Structure 1
Amino acid sequence: MARRKNVVKTHEDSVGATTAVSIQTNQVLDFDTAMELFINEQKILHRAPRTIEWHRENLHTLRAFLERQGLSTTPNQITTKMLKENYILHMLETLQLSPVTVNGRIRSCKAFFDFLLNEAYSSLNPAKQLSLLKTKKTVIETFSRDQLNLLLSAPDKNTFTGFRDHVIMLLLLETGMRVSEIVGLKLQDIRWADSSILVLGKGNKERLVPFQRKMKATLRKYISIRGDVEGEDKVFLTIDNIPMSTRNVQERIQDHGKLANIQGVRVSPHTFRHTFAMVLG
């Protein structure tokens, strides 16, 4: 059987131009249509892909809950009582989710219904009266100097993957970059002349991050080992010459943490970032 083409054909009007579904503001929207309108708005606002996916997951969870409870999923028929006394209580008492998780879903509800109200797709905002739950401030542990030495020594620097991982950890520690920024880093983002990196961060905001002479030499050595890969400008690649993902980096650092027998602290890219912040402080 031939493999299908992974392209969805668009509907075209009589003159051949691609047309979008027209939604009247006085039309009662179903949940899926309303959600896609909201998601498209997030894209227009240049929200980060992970943020958009986070909203989508949270809204899917809301719709699934309402369906299981036999409640209406039509946005105009969703009430504050349904959200507060059914949905939020269910998450807290039945699922026993953490306040942080529940707050994330509340934020998505607020953003979703705010959008529908502001765009005149709805006359009411049932999420307006929802309040975020109080959360405990947790202290994020940082790496000690000994733990950092063990971690940075764990990768086998005689291998491509080992040296690459070593460089990633050094870069996380020295620049405080997020893991998403590390995997998104391109060759042209490295400004060798002034020893800095152009980083595209949250909200598509750019910033320049400096690095020191030793980091510069190590990064140059990695780029030399990486070599030229046709059609690929991402700095950090897998052994198969494809860009590393966030999950790739997280798993590799966790593996090095186990190898170094690091205990009492979470071994993750975020801990490197927090250690960087504490060092600067």
Structure 2
Amino acid sequence: MCEVQKNDHFSPSADWHDAVRLFLQDCKSRNLTNATIRRYRNGLEKLHQHLALQKMQWSDLAPALLTHYVIPSMLEEGLSLRTVNCNLCIYKEFFKFLCGEGLAASDIGVWLKPFKLQPATAHTFTDEHLQHLFALPNRSTFTGLRNYVMMLTLLDTGIRLKELAKLQTSDVLTEEASLRIVQGKGRKSRLVPIQRLAINALKRYMQERGALGHQYLWITLENEPFQTGGIRMMISRYCAAANIQGIQCSCHTFRHTFAKKYIMNGGDIFTLKSILGHERIETTEMYVELFARDLNMQHEKYSPIEHLAEELPFFHVNESEVHV
């Protein structure tokens, strides 16, 4: 493990392009997705560009140079704080790798601190929205049944669009009341619970789907896999038909709605992290922050003290006796 001192300078023994190549090779060996590797490559290219703007060599890098020159340069370019934070996460991974491989004298990434961001708005469906959406598909037709079951699966599990599209018939574990979700490029999987109503709907859909030459769960009328673009368009059309306005209508809205209802119904954050497939608990905690106002309203509605006060007068405090 690298010993890190705050004043240590970054002293790699490989040039920039070799270092990046080795890092990306390591990412591939860890079976990271192509999208993640592409994001890492782009982030490191951005760092290289900003070093050039500051007329700095990467061998001169130190925590102070990053925080006082490179990061401000990114902000001046107009990058959002969220994008800068994403780049910082990439740099931390990069410097940690180089230090571990002996290509750097110290891991300067530990001194990089992300910007504190205001929680983003998480669009969610109301119960009225959901009633309208689920009333739209004509379940007497194959496509209507498929679309209904897809939306039901999204709402009951909170899985991502790509995870939904990649589902195989063998991933529907009816006996275990679970879906097996493969994350990324087959690097790992998780079991997501699914409840009785959705399970029964899936069973009916799979009977209608029948046996085919492939195991893709969701199919078109031509028995081809129903791809993410088609799913996205289907959700968009239903939202338009339901006249849902003022919120972003997408598969991710089902995911946010699932998370909100899970939290509001008393679900714990650690189980939610596992269900949603988050790598970091901080990502899951974001939902608690986003729905804090709703949680306060829920507590007010179900507060044990407030309910006891209705039955037991001695719980009451005369507000005129309260001194601030």
TM-score, normalised via structure 1 length: 0.75
Amino acid at match of 1:89: P
1:164 to 2:146 alignment: yes
Whole-Å Cα distance in 2 between the matches of residues 37 and 238 of structure 1?
A: 42
Residue 188 of structure 2, aligned match among 204, 225, 234: 204
Percentage identity across paired residues of the two chains = 29
1:145 to 2:89 alignment: no
Residue 209 of structure 2, aligned match among 217, 226, 236: 226
How many matched pairs?
251
**What SS does the corresponding residue of 1:200 show, helix, strand or coil?**
strand
Partner of 2:47: 62
Deviation track 1:166-185 (CA, whole Å, cap 9, x = no partner) reads 22111011122222321221
Deviation track 1:13-37 (CA, whole Å, cap 9, x = no partner) reads xxxxxxxxxxxxx852333x32232
Q: Is the 8 A contact 1:28 1:76 kept in 2?
A: no
Partner of 2:92: 110
Instruction: Give the drift of 1:241.
Output: 4.6
1:21-40 paired onto structure 2 within 5 Å: 27-31=13-17, 33-40=18-25
Larger radius of gyration, structure 1 or 2? 2
1:193 to 2:175 alignment: yes
Amino acid at match of 2:92: K
Structural RMSD (CA): 3.0
Whole-Å Cα distance in 1 between the matches of residues 161 and 68 of structure 2?
A: 38
Partner of 1:11: none
Whole-Å Cα distance in 2 between the matches of residues 245 and 61 of structure 1?
A: 32
Deviation track 1:41-95 (CA, whole Å, cap 9, x = no partner) reads 233334455433332332233334445x2745x6534444553334321332331
Instruction: Give the drift of 1:239.
Output: 5.4
Residue 252 of structure 1, aligned match among 220, 234, 256: 234
Q: Is the 8 A contact 1:175 1:276 kept in 2?
A: yes
More helix as a share of residues? 2
Whole-Å Cα distance in 2 between the matches of residues 78 and 240 of structure 1?
A: 56
TM-score, normalised via structure 2 length: 0.66
Instruction: Give the drift of 1:247.
Output: 4.7
